[in-house]
Amino acid sequence: DADVTQTPRNRITKTGKRIMLECSQTKGHDRMYWYRQDPGLGLRLIYYSFDVKDINKGEISDGYSVSRQAQAKFSLSLESAIPNQTALYFCATSDWGEANEQFFGPGTRLTVL
Amino acid sequence: AQSVTQLGSHVSVSEGALVLLRCNYSSSVPPYLFWYVQYPNQGLQLLLKYTSAATLVKGINGFEAEFKKSETSFHLTKPSAHMSDAAEYFCAVSEKGGSEKLVFGKGTKLTVNP
């Protein structure tokens, strides 16, 4: 079984709809991250959490919110989806300490019509 | 603020040829540097990382990278390309003593021709 799982893997929604992307991990890591990937732009950090009570904005948090329900679960919500939020979304986890590897989920491809 | 520049969004090599993917970074404090690889329809996985222990870093699948402070570079190389190396490669930087956030470059897509 995969260490970092994301659901759904693909989602098509309409402008204005609320949508939630979910991430679960079995690695026992405290740190979790949400990124979006756009062609030619690389990965950009949306939100990150270093433990259940710690939530931080990343580079591009506008239009997004997150919830850390447990150590193993970190959800990303789009309150009112818009077409320019069409992207590939990745969840990642890492252990405490400096320069630790981030482990990525398989991604969720979101299309907003 | 940290940043990463990857020169060349697409690189094409022949099977068996040298692979060279370029990465330059900007950081106001000593950096940690990473190379990640993304195979089609997959998430990213770590190839190698620089944490100041040694300037030449060896990673998985025969890749290595050399940290050059004077050039602010961390280029990725592999002596002989294999068809299975076709993927997108991302360079990333984080700050020592910082928040552990990664800042990614825009990526370089490597094509390997038979």
Q: B65-80, pLDDT tens digit by residue?
A: 999 999 999 999 999 9
Q: Do A99 and B105 touch (CB under 8 A)?
A: no
pLDDT of chain A, 113 residues: tens digit per residue: 679 999 999 999 999 999 999 999 999 999 999 999 999 899 999 999 999 999 999 999 999 999 999 999 999 999 999 999 999 999 999 988 877 889 999 999 999 99
Q: Do B32 and A98 touch (CB under 8 A)?
A: yes
pLDDT of residue B99: 66
CA angle, corner A59, sides to A67 and A18, nearest 5? Answer: 40
User: How distant is the alpha carbon of residue A50 from its chain centre?
Assistant: 14
pLDDT of residue A99: 79
pLDDT of residue B59: 95
Q: Give the phi and the psi of residue B84 in degrees, each rounded to 5.
A: -70, -5
A16 torsion bin: left (phi>0), alpha (psi -120 to 50), beta (else): left
pLDDT of residue B54: 87
For residues A73 and A78, give the distance between their C-alpha atoms in angstroms, rounded to a whole number: 17
Q: Which two tokens stand for residue B64?
A: 């290595």
Confidence at B98, pLDDT banded by 50, 70, 90: low
pLDDT of residue A2: 72
For A101, the closest of B46, B90, B103 (CB atoms) is: B46
For B101, the closest of A45, A90, A107 (CB atoms) is: A45
A48 CB within 8 Å of a chain B CB: yes
* Average pLDDT value over all residues in chain B: 92
The pLDDT tens digits of the residues spanning B22-73 come to 999 998 777 899 999 999 989 999 999 998 878 999 999 999 999 999 999 9
Nearest CA in chain B to A31: B100
Do residues B10 and B21 make contact, with C-beta atoms less than 8 angstroms apart?
no
Do residues A56 and A50 make contact, with C-beta atoms less than 8 angstroms apart?
yes
Q: Do B94 and A106 touch (CB under 8 A)?
A: no
For residues B80 and A113, give the distance between their C-alpha atoms in angstroms, rounded to a whole number: 44
**Chain B residues touching A101 at Cβ < 8 A:** 46, 49
Give the strand pairing for A10-13 and A108-112: parallel
* E strand or H helix at A111: strand A108-112
The DSSP secondary-structure symbol of A15 reads T
